[in-house]
Amino acid sequence: MATRREQLLIRARAAGRACADSASVFLRDVGNGLLEVSHNSLALVGLIVVAAAAFVAGKADLRHSIESEAFDWLQARQEQRTDPAELTAAALAEPHAVIRARAVHPKDLTRQQAAVAMWLARRYKVAPEPVSRLVQEAWAVGPKVGVDPTLILAIMAIESSFNPFAQSPVGAQGLMQVMTRVHDEKYERFGGTLAAFDPVANLKVGVQVLKECIQRAGSIEAGLRYYVGAGNQASDNGYASKVLAEQGYLKNVAGGKSVPATIRTTTVVAKPAVAPAETPAEPIKPGEPDAVQLGAAAQAQIVALAH
């Protein structure tokens, strides 16, 4: 027979198991009840959301107001977490701006063209990338119209020193100092006269004017005199000689010869016949646009001859 102590242990164990079973049943019932309540609550919340969405969908003004407020709230939260400098940069960002850039890297040119571009960049203190684009365009346009690319570049150098926004007192504009109001019809193919300040468009129109001058004058030197407006005058103030001298440097550079970028163009200026009281015009300084700016007269003459 079991001792009294063993009987007490058996009874204690039985009581513990009974308590555990009761607690398990209690917890299970509570859990089931909570789950049931949760299901009902979620269903109720879902019904409320659906009803609210249906109501908002039927009210366009209310819907737009809610969307606007939500967007403003999200944007404000984003701005709070963003650095002010980044916000400024994001506001000014224009990823496609590079498409407008009239520039190419010199390494994308031929060796001959790159040599010319780098020499011009040093001589006229301009960036090599936009000058490279002009050199590339001169080599593309020149053969099409029968004009040496170095002559095109020489005219740009003398006329504007590669300033695409240059304008003379008489209205000659852009790299090649074309009289925009005289040759407005030539700019129609480029979208209008404002294209005078697009470097490539100005180059192409200037080449057309130059070609017409050479054809009517009969030679390059005489054509340059017409281009600058001195076709019917005793002197062009050394303009043609200056352009041809600059072209000579460019040809030497293109041919692989070493030409100092600081070399000064020397010209022999034929002095016009003037009255004793008059003072002959001073020669044009190397690397600067034509000081007299007679291009308007020349280009107007071309238009008159064409008609």
Q: What is d(CA 222, CA 232) in angstroms, rounded to the nearest whole number?
A: 10
Q: For 75-126, write each residue's pLDDT tens digit.
A: 777 666 666 777 687 788 888 887 888 999 999 999 999 999 999 999 999 9
Please choose, from the candidates 126, 135, 125, 142, the residue with its C-alpha nearest in 3D space to the C-alpha of residue 104: 135
| pLDDT on residue 17 | 78
Regarding predicted confidence, which is higher, 200 or 232?
Answer: 200
| pLDDT on residue 37 | 62
Q: What is d(CA 197, CA 31) in angstroms, rounded to the nearest whole number?
A: 80
Please choose, from the candidates 165, 164, 142, 145, the residue with its C-alpha nearest in 3D space to the C-alpha of residue 247: 142
Phi, psi dihedral angles at 304 (to 5 degrees): -65, -40
Regarding predicted confidence, which is higher, 75 or 257?
Answer: 257
Phi, psi dihedral angles at 267 (to 5 degrees): -130, 150
pLDDT beyond 60 at 222: yes
Q: How confident is the model at residue 229 (pLDDT cuts 50, 70, 90)?
A: confident
What pairs with residue 167 in β-bridges?
Answer: 173
* In 58-127, alpha helices (H): 60-81, 84-92, 111-124
Instruction: Give the global pTM.
Output: 0.64
| pLDDT on residue 54 | 67
pLDDT beyond 80 at 278: no
Q: Give percent of the chain above pLDDT 70.
A: 73
Phi, psi dihedral angles at 144 (to 5 degrees): -70, -30
Q: For 23-65, write each residue's pLDDT tens digit.
A: 777 777 776 776 666 666 666 666 677 666 666 566 677 667 7
